[in-house]
Amino acid sequence: MKTLELPQTDLTASDVVVGLMRINDMSDEDVRALYSASRDAGVTMFDHAAIYGGWHGCEARFAEAVTLSSSERAAIQLQTKVGIRQGYFDFSYEHILSSVEESLAALRTDYIDVLLLHRPDALVEPEEVAKAFDELHAAGKVHHFGVSNHTPGQVELLRRSVNQPLAFNQVQLSITHANVIAQGVAANMGGLDQSVDRDNDILNHARLNDITLQAWSPFQKGFFDGVFLGDREHYAELNDVLDEVAAAHGVTPTGIAVAWITRHPAHFQVVLGTTNPQRVRESAAGSDVELSREEWYRIFTAAGHTVP
């Protein structure tokens, strides 16, 4: 699997990240099998959030099942997110600090490699975020920081106060939910829905500012509408093309779905949501595939996007 030297950090990490939002009800044996398969495939980064599995539930489930030696802990990156509460968002100084302390306890670790602000808090006070980040960084409890689902304007507002680099932005992206990319392809096309800028150009803002974009829900049709892989009722042409390209490269369609994202020169990390070790292996294999431009655009148009 490819690794990336992540800009604005001292981290070198896999370009496939295993998200652990669905492990709360898994047995210790199954969690360990998922972790072992991930590590064997070359995955170094694991994604959590305070809200996953109830309050810190998946973080605790992971630590209960997987005992990390000091050397193994140093070999991986643990990422978690803060800010979603029951029915509202909270980027207050007090909540950021308390949530991180609870994440550290749940994960049974002394530090978090990457902390993301989960979804934009409309009531954010950047000075409070900056104060919390300064204390966490100075104490060695969080090494790197970023955001999730934030627009360029929201990032810039935070950057005016926050002293540490905001090195990550985790955004939804799959072949079929690709507005972060597709809008730019069809820019200035009047009357075409694809040309509508819905995120204030997150993609180019990230590239201009050395922010690593992390793609969540890489196999989802839309917002948790199910996966497009194998859905021939709605995406017959796309699945035909994925099958053909997969066969040409000796991987599965899952691998090609990953390769389509990692082919982009923005150097996305792909955040998996699967609990299936085999799908992790197939995804990791896709990381090593270099799609041609023709293949990339063929998949893009088979998904229904317009190339004017």
Active site residues: 52
CA distance 168 to 114: 9
Residue type, 74: A
Residue in 306, 299, 170, 174 with CA at minimum distance from that of residue 227 = 174
Tokens at residue 36, please?
A: 């072992």
Task: Yes or no: say if 176 and 147 are a contact pair by the CB < 8 Å rule.
Answer: no
Residue in 248, 182, 174, 160 with CA at minimum distance from that of residue 217 = 174
**Local structure of residue 149 (DSSP, 8 states):** S
What is the Cα gyration radius of the chain? Answer: 19
Task: Yes or no: say if 122 and 92 are a contact pair by the CB < 8 Å rule.
Answer: no
CA distance 203 to 205: 6
* Helical (H) or strand (E) element with 92: none
Residue in 236, 255, 214, 258 with CA at minimum distance from that of residue 303 = 236
Angle between helices 152-159 and 126-138 (to 10 degrees): 60
